[in-house]
Structure 1
Amino acid sequence: MPPPPPPQPPPPIEADSTMATTEKILQVADQHCSLVSMIADREHAPFALESQQKYLRDLESKLAELKKEIAILRRITSKERKEHQDLRDSIARRYAHKIAGLSEKFVSKIEREEREFLEALSNQRAAEDTERYLEEAIAETKLQLESLTVYTNEYNELKEQSTRLYKEVFDGPSPEFPEEDDWEIAVQNAEAFYADSQSRFELDASALHKLSIAAKKATKAVTYCEAAVSGSGWDIFGGGVVADLMEKDNMTKAKASLAQVRILLAQAIDLQSEIGPFEEVIIGGNQTSGGAVFDGPSNSEGTSSPKLVDTVAQVLVLEKQIQKEFRLQKARAFEAKRTAEEAKHQLSDARSELEVVRKEVFESVTGGPCALPAPPPYEGLESPIRPPVLSTYAALVEGLEAAGL
């Protein structure tokens, strides 16, 4: 339901030095209650807007870096495709050599060129999957920013109207009501406390959200690594290039998941410095940020290589670290939420007390303090951005067929 439109500015009060503060309050009582209610309904917007803007800047920066990497990967894929096609066109010569006795060196070269092309294409597809994930996250964040911007603009306009109204009514000390001056100061202190605590909650909630997604992606990486371990035994049954490709495809998916995990963890640490640190996962001698995929997942006996076993162990350790940090951050976020709610209640109480003090002189007319709306719900913990499904082996084969290979 869209928020009600901001009220029109109250009519100016006559600049009569003989008009008592009581008379001024009576003149603008209705406009004042309307402003208080709508300001309270929008107080969360500026803090949420700042948090989302930072998140958007980070996403756009990561996407720009990724696009550069994809451009490089596409050039590599194009080069490997050409070399592979050149070998494919030499099939007649290969069979001629086979009849005459084809050397193992020539066979090895053909298989190596084929694997290099498939690896390059698999790397490109994994990077493009991450690109789509970032683009979807950016699009959703921009939609949230549009709504938050509207609320923030309305909040600022309402605050300006409220400031003008208070200036007209209570400009300078109110000697008739010294208690009103004291509560004005109390409200200002409560506003500062609420701003700080709400900002902390927004940051902690956002950090928790990122850890939640990182934990799911780390679990996916574990699944892909375990699939690669299971598939490494197929070589002993003559799986050949297909089995090798499936192993490499699983490791490429694991790398893509870990790359996204690294982005999310860096964002979470930026929001809450108490998170981490985390161990760096190395795949086949290359860090997860490198361009090379895992090489040599199985040995000649069909058992998993030490590199692959070590990679699985590292990913499992990282998964447990993220789960532990998620639990710790969840406690921080809920404590920050409790503090923010307490600050909001204190601010509401201070405003109510200020209103009571201001209206005591005409209580029979106003009938008590202005009613305030319920605090707006924060949905950041329950509505994570869902990333797209990563490319599968079937999608890779489909791409090869589309390329005529």
Structure 2
Amino acid sequence: MLYEALEAQRALEAEVERHVQAQRDLDNLYDSIFQGFTPGFPEEDTKENELNSALQAYHGARVQFECESSAVQILSQAQHRMTSALHAIENALDHSRMDMFGGSFVSDMMERNELHKCEMDVSQAQMLVIQAQRMSPTVGNLPPVKIAQGSLMSDVLFDNIFTDAAFHDKIKDSRLELQRCARVLDQQLNAARGRQQELGLTVRGKTQVLDTARAELQEARQSIFETVA
């Protein structure tokens, strides 16, 4: 049963390919005869111009759609990096709390490590947004984010609850900036997805116009060919 189904599918695919090739051969034949200005057949020239215009409009819409789709993909990567940054700064705050209440030098090291990871993730997200803007100039900028950075030397020389608490507040300020930046990025991604969807509809519309123009041109050429043949 499965073998018969596969054989039927192969036969159908072969028939479709023969039809496509026959249509391609017919188009090539008509192009060789009617390509360009054809004196005496103004209706064919009109249909050919309509096809060229439809083809140009389709390609323009397709390029815009592909660019916006690339922007969506890049912004999605930026969002992933921003999520990682938010996770890192929460970890940094956890280590900072431990440091305030008697944590060891290890807590300081872990805190700084998470802040460094956060800063790297934010930097990568910002670079990805710049790449997305090259694909779609409509993509806006992200607000600036300053990730708190301390000094391990200061932690050794001036480590006390007051300095730890002050630095903890700086990390919290960085988290607020980061959260605001993440919200803006989410908005940019949602907007890009909306544009992508609209452009997809535009491409489908241009495709229908193109198919109609191609069919009308072929019909006009076939009519002329049958008349003069």
TM-score bin (small chain): 0.7 to 0.9
2-side partners of 1:295 and 1:238: how far apart?
18
1:227 paired to 2:91: yes
Equivalent position of 1:354 in the other structure:
217
- Of 163, 166, 173, the match for 2:38: 173
Residues 57-99 of structure 1 show CA distances to partners (whole Å, capped at 9, x for unaligned) of xxxxxxxxxxxxxxxxxxxxxxxxxxxxxxxxxxxxxxxxxxx
1:180-259 aligned within 5 A: 180-259=44-123
- SS of alignment partner, residue 273 of structure 1: coil
Cα deviations by residue, 1:124-157 (Å, 9 ceiling, x for unpaired)? xxxxxxxxxxxxxxxxxxxxxxxxxxxxxxxxxx
* Number of equivalenced pairs: 201
Partner of 2:140: 276
In terms of fraction of residues, the more helix-rich structure is: 2
Q: Secondary structure at the match of 1:282?
A: coil
In structure 2, how many angstroms separate the alpha carbons of the residues matched to 1:36 and 1:255?
61
Q: Describe the shift of the 1:31–1:235 C-alpha distance in structure 2 as closer, same or farther (beyond 3 A).
A: closer
- Kindly tell me: are residues 360 and 330 of structure 1, through their superposed partners in 2, closer, same or farther at Cα, counting changes over 3 Å? same
Residue 262 in 1 paired to residue 126 in 2?
yes
Displacement, 1:208? 1.1
Give the TM-score normalised by structure 1.
0.45
The match for 2:182 among 300, 304, 319 is: 319
Aligned letter for 1:244? D
What letter is aligned with 2:150? D
Q: Is the 8 A contact 2:71 2:133 kept in 1?
A: yes
**What CA deviation, in whole Å up to 9, does each residue of 1:97-131 have, x standing for no partner?**
xxxxxxxxxxxxxxxxxxxxxxxxxxxxxxxxxxx
The one-letter amino acid paired with 2:179 is L
Partner of 1:331: 194
Unaligned stretches of 5+ residues in structure 2: 1-13, 15-19
- Conserved in 2, the CA contact under 8 Å of 1:174 and 1:180? no
> Does the CA contact (< 8 Å) of 2:97 and 2:168 recur in 1?
no
- Give unmatched runs, 5+ long, in structure 1: 5-29, 38-161, 285-293, 364-405
* Separation in structure 2 between the aligned mates of residue 362 and residue 168 of structure 1, nearest angstrom: 12
Deviations 1:141-189 (A, max 9, x none): xxxxxxxxxxxxxxxxxxxxx5xx55531154152x4322211010010
Helix, strand or coil for the counterpart of 1:276?
A: coil
Partner of 2:17: none
Conservation of the 8 A alpha-carbon contact between 2:129 and 2:141: no
| Correspondent of 1:310 among 173, 178, 199 | 173
TM-fit CA distance, 1:190: 0.4
Residues 296 and 305 of structure 1 are in contact (CA less than 8 Å); yes or no, is this contact kept in structure 2?
no
Identity among equivalent positions (%) equals: 27
- Aligned-residue CA RMSD in angstroms? 2.8
Residue 202 of structure 1: how far off its partner (Å): 0.8
- Code of the residue aligned with 2:202 in structure 1: it is T
In the alignment, is the contact (CA less than 8 A) between 2:76 and 2:189 conserved in 1? Answer: yes
Question: 1:324: how far off?
Answer: 0.8
CA distance in 2, matches of 1:189, 1:254: 50
Equivalent residue of 1:223, what SS?
Answer: helix
For residues 305 and 35 of structure 1, the distance between their equivalents in structure 2, rounded to whole angstroms, comes to 74
Distance 2:184 2:62 in 1: 28
Return the offset for 1:31: 6.5
Determine the C-alpha separation between the residues in 2 that align with 1:36 and 1:345: 21
Find out whether 1:341 has 2:196 as its counterpart. Answer: no
- Does residue 1:295 correspond to 2:158, yes or no? no
Which residue matches 1:287? none
Match of 1:126 in 2: none
Change (3 A) 1:236 1:181: closer
Q: What SS does structure 1 have at the residue aligned with 2:68?
A: helix
Q: How many Å apart are 1:32 and its aligned residue? A: 6.7
Superimposed CA distance per residue, residues 254-273 of structure 1 (whole angstroms, 9 cap, x where no aligned partner): 11211210111001112222
Alignment check: 8 A CA contact 1:221 1:254 kept: yes
- Read off the aligned partner of 2:171 and give its amino acid letter: L
Q: Whole-Å Cα distance in 1 between the matches of residues 25 and 188 of structure 2?
A: 42
Which letter does structure 1 place at the counterpart of 2:160? Answer: S
CA 1:352/1:296 → structure 2, altered by over 3 Å: closer, same or farther?
A: same
Q: 1:224 Cα shift?
A: 0.5
